[in-house]
Structure 1
């Protein structure tokens, strides 16, 4: 069994998505970066872009955000966002 990290996508009102993942790729303001299990702690601002959630060697969910913050710990990756969110299945969430 491969290592996973817990991923959460959170708005001010609720938890939008919570799942385990082998890797999460987020749109940092200095460029995209990947988060793996046991990643060093980091807090970063996020630009508008895609979040890719990887499991079983492939992308299982793609989420477009309009910006936010990410907090990474060795066991968790938490994205905080207030803008619109679109999932790869064409469902969208308006957080305004």
Structure 2
């Protein structure tokens, strides 16, 4: 899957991932390959990215929106802490 994390100022992350966990406003949820299409608002919280190997990256976002469609995920964050 391809993931992009964008803020109004810059592109924070772009790359291939195995899974992404995002802080939804009703609780965090994970997006995996072939996830059903979704658009959701995000609360302040941690985005956890698992890469193609065993590596893991974490970003703390200040709210935003996530869209997942056809194995492409876009996180539009209001900011990164």
Correspondence for 1:12 among 8, 30, 35: 8
Stretches (4+) displaced over 6 A: none
Correspondence for 1:46 among 42, 49, 59: 42
Give 1 or 2 for the bigger CA radius of gyration.
Answer: 1
Correspondence for 1:69 among 58, 65, 69: 65
TM-score, normalization by structure 1? 0.76
Higher strand share: 2
Q: Give the aligned partner of residue 35 of structure 1.
A: 31
Gaps of 5+ in 2: none
TM-score, normalization by structure 2? 0.89
Q: Deviations over 1:22-47 (max 9, x none)?
A: 00000000101000111111000000
